[in-house]
Amino acid sequence: MTQYPSMLQFDVLIIGSGLAGLSLALKLADQRKVAVITKKSLLESASVWAQGGIAAVLSQEDSLTEHIQDTVTAGAGLCDPAAVRYVIEHAKPAIDWLIAQGVPFTRDADTDTGYHLAREGGHSRRRIIHAADATGYAVQKTLASKVLAHPNITLLEHYIAIDLITGNKLGYTHNQCYGAYALNSLSDEVSTIAAHDTILATGGASKVYLYTTNPDTVTGDGIAMGWRAGCRVSNMEFIQFHPTCLYHPHAKSFLISEAVRGEGGILKLPDGTRFMSAHDERAELAPRDIVARAIDFEMKKHGLDCVYLDISHKSVEFLQAHFPTIYSRCLSLGIDISRQPIPVVPAAHYTCGGIVTDLHGRTDLANLYAVGETAHTGLHGANRLASNSLLECMVFADAAARNILASPQSQFIPLPQWDESQVTDADEEIIISHNWAELRQFMWDYVGIVRTTKRLQRAQHRIRLLHEEINEYYANFHVTADLLELRNLVLTADLIVQSALFRHESRGLHYSKDYPDTRPLAASTILTPTA
C-alpha cells in the first residue's frame, strides 16, 4: 500500500467515493489537483449497490413536466420547485455524459431512445435508464477506471475523515473550511489534509437502523461532520424505507429492485392474497412510503415475518434478461423466482434530509460543499421518487464542479497536526460494539416506519446517554474507525429524532400515530447548530 505523509495538500478534497464523489473528481481533475478519500476500497459505496437505474426524460413519449409532477407528488408538498426543475432539466446532459464515459446501459432497438427504459413506483412513464439490474455497479466501475487513470486524482483508500478543519476551530473570526483530519484505518495514523475546497459526499445514514439495504460504510459521516462544523441540516425525519429487501437468514442487505414491481411483480400475503389495492389505487406502483407502510401494516396485522413479491408469471428468459443479479442471487439461496415468490421486508434505504445546500452544492460554510445523499438540496421533499437519487448525484456534482472552477482559490495556511498527546489506547472496545448494537436496535424499534411521540422520546433519552458515553470515550482514547462511525451515527440519530419530534403531522415518510393528519401548509424542518 502507498504510504502518505501526515500533512497533505490538494486543490480539492472529496470525502466519499460514490457516484457524486467520483463524477465530481473527474469533472475537476483536468484543472485541479484532487484527492478522493474512501473508507474502504474504491468500489464500496451505496452507489455501487443501486440496482434500478437513473430517472431522466429521454423518450419522446415523456416530458419534463410529467417528471417534475411525479417528483413533486412523491415529495408530499415539501419539494423545492426550483431544485426539482433544475435537476430534471439537467438530467439528459448527465445521462449523455455517462454514456460518453462508456457506461453500458441496456439497449433496446425498438425504442425511440435506443435504450430500454424501465418504469418504477411513482413514475407515470417509462424513464429509468439502467444497466440490467446492476446500474450502480456498472456506472461506478466505469468511472472508477477513469479515476484510477487520471494523473491529477489521488485516491486515499481506507481513510476515514475524522472532522473538518474550520476557522472557528482554529480560533479565526472567519469560519471557512480548510480541509479535514483523516484516519488511515490500516496504519492507525492521522493525516492533516489541506484543501482550497472540501466536498462532503459520504452518502446517507441508513446504517443507524438495524435493517438496511445499505453497505456498512453508510454511517452519516458527512452529515455529522457538517453539523459539527456549523452547517444547518434539514428534514432528517424523512428516512425512506425500501419496501422490498430480501428476507433470508443468509442474505445481508440485499435489495429487490423497485423495477421488479415496475415490470409486474405482485405483493402477496403467505396465502397468496394480494393486498396493495386495499391501501392505494396505484397498488404495487404506489410510491415507496405508501408501499412500505402497507407491508408494515400487513405484517403487524397478521403477525408475519415477511410478505412475498411474486413475479413468477414472467418467463425465465425475461427474468434473466431484466434481473440477472436478483435472479442469480435468489437462486443461490434456494429461491427460484421464476417458480416461487420472493420473501421481502421493508428496510432503511435512503436519507431524504441532510446538510442544507444551494443549487451549486454550497453549504453554510465557505469552501465546503455537500453533494449526493449527504446533502439536502430540496429535490426529494418528504419522500424520494425512485431513481432520482443517482440523478441528483450527477447534476449537483456538475453544479459544484462548475462553481469551484469559477471561484478564485485562496492561499494555503499552516494547519495544526492532529494532537494525540492526551489520549491512550482503549482498554475495552466491547463498549463500542455494544453501543452500536443498542443504537441500531432502539432506532428500529422507536424511530421506524410508524412512530409515536412516546417512542421518539424514549429514543432521545437513550441517545443522550450514548452521546455522553461516546464523547468521554472519544476524548480519552485513540480514535478508531469503529469509534468514529459510532460517534457519527449517534449524532445523526439525534438529528433524526429531534426533527421527528418537531413535526406534528404525518407527511411522506414520517408517519406519527399521535399526529395522523397532514397540515395544510408544508414546511421543512431546519435545525441550526448552537455555537
Order of strands across the sheet that contains 117-118: 54-55, 128-129, 117-118
The dihedral formed by the CA atoms of 264, 318, 43 and 346, expressed in degrees to the nearest 10: 30
The CA distance from 22 to 140, in Å, is 8
**In the block, which residue shows the cell 429492485?**
257
The CA distance from 199 to 177, in Å, is 10
Q: How far from the centroid of its chain's Cα atoms is residue 366's Cα?
A: 24
3-state secondary structure (DSSP) of residue 151: coil
The CA distance from 228 to 494, in Å, is 13
DSSP letters for 12-34? EEEE--SHHHHHHHHHHTTTS-E
3-state secondary structure (DSSP) of residue 229: coil
In sequence order, the 6+-apart residues with CB closer than 8 A to the CB of 96 are none
Helix ranges (DSSP H) in 362-424: 389-406
The CA distance from 249 to 239, in Å, is 24
The CA distance from 443 to 456, in Å, is 9
Which parts of 222-288 are beta strand (E)?
233-234, 239-246, 266-268
Are residues 11 and 33 in contact, defined by beta-carbon separation less than 8 angstroms?
A: yes
Please count the CA atoms within 13 angstroms of the CA of 442 that sit on its side-chain side. Answer: 24
What are residue 430's phi and psi, to 5 degrees? -60, -25
Maximum alpha-carbon separation in the chain: 68
19 closest CA partner among 122, 83, 97: 97
Q: Crossing angle, helix 453-476 and helix 430-446, to 10 degrees?
A: 160
Active site residue 288: yes
In sequence order, the 6+-apart residues with CB closer than 8 A to the CB of 470 are 435, 483, 486, 487, 490
Are residues 256 and 326 in contact, defined by beta-carbon separation less than 8 angstroms?
A: yes
DSSP letters for 74-119? HTTT---HHHHHHHHHTHHHHHHHHHHHT--PPB-TTSSSSB-EE-
User: Which cell numbers in the block locate residue 447?
Assistant: 424511530
- Active-site residue, selected from the candidate residues 288, 362, 440, 455: 288
3-state secondary structure (DSSP) of residue 179: strand
**In the block, which residue shows the cell 431546519?**
526
Catalytic (active-site) positions: 288
